[in-house]
Structure 1
Amino acid sequence: MPVSSCGLRRLELSVAEPELSVDFFAGVLGWTVIAETGGTFTGWVGDRLAAQVVAGEQGWRVFFGGDEPRELKVNSSVDGGRVLHGPWAPAPRGGEPCWVELMTGEPDDEYWSRELGWEVEPGADDFVLYTSSRHGDPRAVAGRLRTERAQGWQTYFAVDDLAAACAAVSELDGRVLLEPTTVPTGFIASIEGPHGGACVLLEQPKGWGGTWAS
């Protein structure tokens, strides 16, 4: 079994209009944007990388930290290097990734346990927590929801004021797919940019995973 992954190495958004998309998310999440080589852009919160935006059509891609870089199922991979976001990383600031959740109609918890060394903690109804004990006590590292809705890894970003963030989404020609509501993770809204990149906003999470941090 591989050493348990304890969080995200990085996030990547693959869209047809990377420059326009990174400007949208910078406007909503307050990123500092840096133009990289080859038409790639990165969004930063202070000295921490929030996401990379590249040309393509795959949407969000999740890169978990691990000891052996490799491709995984769905929109995910394992990447080497320091984990930037997770239960043992610094608490998420506004604009940073703060949680990931696998949306799937056909759960395969054994696969994720085998590939990433996670333990499975059953929750209510069709939800489970994936936990990691890599650095001692087990902590929530990701969630899994059985659903027939959009499939794949759902990305969450922290915001200081959810209402203000949703207003910025509308002002920048994005869409609020799910109006602000309270779920077990916390106070959230689902949004999408005018050029793609649907994600979830989570207001003032006290740690990785919002309420799951406790």
Structure 2
Amino acid sequence: MPRTRPRVPYPLRSIAPPLLAALLLAGCSSAPDAPSAAPPRDVAGAAAPSTGQRAGAADSGTRAGSRSTAAAPVRVGIPSLGIDSELMRLGLNQDGTVEVPPAEKGMTAGWYTGGATPGEPGAAVIIGHNDTRYGRAVFHDLRRIAKGADITVRDEHGAKLHFTVTATESVAKKAFPTRKVYGATRTSTLRLITCDGAFDAQGHPVDNLIVYADRS
């Protein structure tokens, strides 16, 4: 599932300033089970923060070496779109790319554990497929979300947190706004990420759809 590591304009470990070093992209290339003339359906993809970002408070909202006091999220819902999904935990692949839910679990979104925990100051990131080779996936209709829409996140203790959509953005993967998505925030914020846009020659969606939301 991981995409080929980008070259120019994102040479690994050579981006200045250092805060943007070692950017990597997660997979968006789930191929069909059999050869097809049609482009393969997409899966979610997002730029991973650098190692330095993951280690400190700047992007996770939690001090290095400290423990999160918030309960882990287990479910996400968007009532206006009829979305209600369990949340699996996502980390990093061996090559440093952000994990995505496996294609066969396309209707399940995932929480990136390297970011903030929903409810704590910082950016909590939830990633979901748009479509996979198995068909429609959990964030298939995410592009229809409206500003002001309610997003709910339920934690492992049953508490429900509410977030209000403030903006959406479709961006080229080659220009993924890493600081804006993973950067430090004083308040509790949420980002939802899926694939968007046209396919390239290899059948990979070229854009990401990002939904920004603040704690209600």
TM-score interval (norm. to shorter): 0.3 to 0.5
> Normalization by structure 1: what TM-score?
0.33
